[in-house]
Chain A
Amino acid sequence: MTMLSSVAERLYWMARYLERAEDTARLVAAYNHLIMDIPRGSELGWDVLIRILDAEAAFYENHRVGNEQNVLRYLLAEKDNVSSIPFSVRWARENVRTTRDVLPEEIWEQINELYLYTSDMAEKSVGRRNRQAFLEQIVNRCQLINGMLASTLPRDHVYRFLKLGHLLERSDMTTRLMDVGAGEILARDGTHGAIDPLIWASLLQALSAFGAYRRMIGPLVEAEGVVEFVFREASLPRSVAFCLAGVREELKPLSNHQAALRVLDRGRRKLSRLDATNMSRDELHRYIDEFQSLLSELHQAITSTWFHPDTP
């Protein structure tokens, strides 16, 4: 089948934005849950969410303090900042609108409904009362769309570029989460050891991986165990290993995949060298940083190979 480069690019971004909307909703929901368990004065603030999303510069341009109200408004209701759920939803929709001709009819209707829901409800969901229900709706509706795509699309280029965007975004978010876990605890130098397990558990929850962790690793939640699990557990759909394996699977049938595969295999080798137990927090942070730049290199390779190749 033929696939226009421009269409491939929009599909890729549609999947990234859809995944970003879902992951952001998951993250906020898990954190919302966590914060209720934290003792007063533990210095764990809402601004952590802004740091996870790498949005400090943009956030502090328009907000003086990273308090609950400001952070939640920023992530749930503001339409024009790149970290907000409405922003991701709008761009996911815009990319579906412009690739409707290759997607099943129902996808357009569903993304349109998600968009209308978000436009109607976002503002009302900043407060604690409606927040959780809103976030659940976002996650559910994103999952519905992903489920429809997975159960209706032929496994061709359309599916392939969606999956690439989807998995890359997801591994990006997973590594961000781990970095915050590492960074947050690092910053406090272990003095609030009592809440560490709570933080790691909430990170696992954001990945819907808490249950799996307990079954496969055990009930004790420890930093090293979580990091290894979330990076390396190949059977866990939100682990980095799982995402990269999926990316590899989709890259292989594409022509001119050499450059992207080279970056990907570097990532996989790096993954196999991770040894969280024997790493200092500093080393772990550096490791995650390097991993993130590798993911961005992979994105670059995909972009320059398939979306914007030089004219033949």
Chain B
Amino acid sequence: MNESWKSYQTGNFFDELITPKGQPRAAARGAIRLLQQLPTEEMAARRAAAELAIREMGISFTVYTEGGNIDRAWPFDIIPRVISARQWQAVSDGLRQRSRALNRFIDDVYNKQSILADGVVPAEVVLESSNYKAPCAGMSPRFGVWAHVCGSDLVRDGDGKFYVLEDNLRVPSGVSYMLENREITKRVLPELFENYSILPVDDYPSKLYQTLASLSPRERRRPCIAVLTPGIYNSAYFEHAYLAQGMGAELVQGSDLLVPDDDCVYMRTVDGPVRVDVIYRRIDEEFMDPEAFLPDSMLGAPGLMRAWKAGKVAIANAPGSGVADDKVIYAYVPDMIRYYLKEKPLLASVPTYLCMREKDREYVLKNLDKLVVKPANESGGYGIMVGPHSTAAVRRKFARLIEENPRNYVAQPTLALSTAPTYIDDAVEPRHLDLRPFILQGKDSWVTPGGLTRVALVKGSLVVNSSQGGGSKDTWIVEGKV
């Protein structure tokens, strides 16, 4: 075993690859043995090769700062995370179940509202939310599906059990990094692949294409699909371009589109206007159409909502899908599964205290130092307070915020997030991580084998967001014995 691994201690957390006794877990055995035999210099050389590949492949993400936007190289850890296919199957089934229930819910609240009438979800939580988009009421997209692409964040607790932390139903991002991470591992650690049967991830763009094509309002052999990006300076622009290329779709900005009086959407091309059938929207709905939402948005195209409501174009995710992407609604997902599907939830949710409930609020305010407090409506890890890592001043600030606007805050117990061996400087050390798989829902549903593993590179940190010092790992779902 090389030096870097010798002092590896799993600590009090569930480690993805190493048992508490220091042995590799079954699915990871082959990879760990090989990595442990690589001489220290060789490990460093592989990491340098990965960094070079990232630079050359131009895999970057944008960080917004006050001093302007910075394009940073994608942070990547060369040690893959390994999960057995058998274990993954259960997670995947659970995710599909969730996606079905969430879509039933969105379709319901914009139409019959039976779940509200039956009192399963309080009506005011939905109807008074800024995520509820009144212009969407009465719409019924094809297959009753609104959220065609869902990115759910999963974590594992101390016992190794998977929990859903949140469902991102608006414009979830990260899938291109999942694909590139595999590409990099193939380049820099090709020998790892020799004795493994690792489920491939690179058919994602074609699965996405199929999902989107199934939504086309016109029956065509090859519907015209456009990926709508907010533009070349958006942090996920790299991904938008990547997916457009992978699908053979057009990558458009709002200024490339027009919606004349016939309510159809056209792209401006060198041969004149060409009609678009499906828009894969990577822009928040508020900015999507100045005619329907924010009137001074420069990013969207006027008339998109009009076209969508006239059934002349499909939009994925459908405008209004965000109504289910709210940390208060999250607490009701298990109830939704029972209500719509008459099934037992297959995947656990994290117990969630809703500050709008008086009893929950009292508990939260008394236990701020133990809980994670989150705004109901933010993403990217912003505005979160991790109780055990907080100062008294921060706790006072959050107490005030909660009392001012209880509907906007939820709290959850601090989970003992799982760790995995991560190559830091010259040693391999445990770091906390999460996992974002992507669920596609059109005529059929499909889950990525694995997903994007994000890892908190700072020792002890639980914040995995790349904008806040997080890195990532290739994620393997492996079949059979190794």
Contact = CB atoms under 8 A, between A and B. Distances in A.
Interface of A: 2-8, 97-98, 100-102, 108-109, 112-113, 116, 157, 161, 254-255, 306, 309, 311-312
25 contacts: A2-B250, A2-B269, A3-B270, A3-B271, A4-B252, A4-B267, A4-B270, A5-B270, A6-B253, A6-B255, A6-B268, A7-B250, A97-B241, A98-B241, A100-B241, A100-B242, A101-B241, A101-B245, A101-B249, A101-B251, A109-B57, A112-B55, A113-B56, A312-B272, A312-B273
Contacts of B55: 112, 116
Contact of A306 (B56, B251, B270): B270
B58 A108 contact: yes
Contacts of B57: 108-109, 112
Contacts of A100: 241-242, 245
A109 B241 CA distance: 14
B56 A4 contact: no
B456 interface: no
A18 B245 CA distance: 22
A255 B271 contact: yes
Interface of B is mostly: mixed
Given A97-B232, A101-B241, A101-B245, A109 B268 contact: no
Contacts of A102: 245
Given A7-B250, A255-B271, 14 more contacts: A2-B274, A3-B271, A4-B267, A4-B269, A7-B251, A8-B270, A97-B232, A98-B241, A101-B241, A101-B249, A101-B250, A102-B245, A113-B56, A309-B268
B270 A254 contact: yes
B396 to A, nearest CB: 45
B126 interface: no
Contact of B269 (A5, A101, A112): A5
Q: Which 9 pairs across A and B sit closest by C-beta, in order of nearness?
A: A101-B245, A101-B244, A306-B270, A100-B241, A101-B251, A112-B58, A101-B241, A98-B232, A5-B268
Interface of B: 55-58, 224, 232, 237, 241-242, 244-245, 249-253, 255-256, 258, 260, 267-274
A116 to B, nearest CB: 7
Contacts of A108: 57-58
Contact of B56 (A3, A5, A101, A109): A109
A101 to B, nearest CB: 4
A4 B268 contact: yes
Contacts of A109: 56-58
Contacts, number: 69
B245 A97 contact: no
B206 to A, nearest CB: 15
Given A4-B250, A101-B244, A255 B58 contact: no
Q: Choose among B232, B258, B271, B273 the residue with the greatest number of A CB atoms under 10 Å from its CB.
A: B271
B469 to A, nearest CB: 24
Contacts of A8: 270
Contacts of B252: 4
Contacts of A112: 55-58
A2 B224 contact: yes
A149 to B, nearest CB: 16
Given A97-B232, A311-B258, A2 B58 contact: no
A255 B251 CA distance: 22
Contacts of A4: 250, 252, 256, 267-270
Contacts of A311: 258, 268
Contacts of B58: 97, 108-109, 112
Nearest to B232: A98
Contacts of B249: 101
Nearest to A308: B268
A160 to B, nearest CB: 9
Nearest to A311: B258
B180 to A, nearest CB: 11
A254 B258 CA distance: 22
A10 to B, nearest CB: 9
Contacts of A6: 253, 255-256, 268
A255 B272 CA distance: 9
Nearest to B227: A101
Contacts of A116: 55-56
A223 B73 CA distance: 52
Nearest to B276: A2
A109 B57 CA distance: 5
A4 B245 CA distance: 14
A116 B73 CA distance: 13
A51 to B, nearest CB: 35
A109 B183 CA distance: 14
Contacts of B255: 6
Contacts of A97: 58, 232, 241
A3 B267 CA distance: 9
Given A108-B58, A255-B272, A312-B272, A5 B244 contact: no
Nearest to A112: B58
Contacts of A3: 269-271
A252 to B, nearest CB: 14
A119 to B, nearest CB: 11
A7 B267 CA distance: 11
A165 B101 CA distance: 52
A225 to B, nearest CB: 40
A161 B260 CA distance: 28
Nearest to B60: A97
Nearest to B258: A311
Contacts of B271: 2-3, 255
Contacts of B270: 3-5, 8, 157, 161, 254-255, 306
A98 B242 CA distance: 11
Nearest to B257: A4
A198 B260 CA distance: 62
A5 B273 CA distance: 10
A101 B267 CA distance: 16
Contacts of B272: 255, 312
A102 B244 CA distance: 9
Contacts of B267: 2, 4
A306 B272 CA distance: 9
Contacts of B242: 100-101
A97 B260 CA distance: 31
Nearest to A95: B232
Contacts of A101: 241-242, 244-245, 249-251
A5 B245 contact: no
A29 B250 CA distance: 40
A109 to B, nearest CB: 5
Nearest to A305: B270
Contacts of B241: 97-98, 100-101
Contacts of A312: 260, 272-273
B246 to A, nearest CB: 9
B268 to A, nearest CB: 5
Nearest to A8: B270
A171 B161 CA distance: 66
Contacts of A254: 270
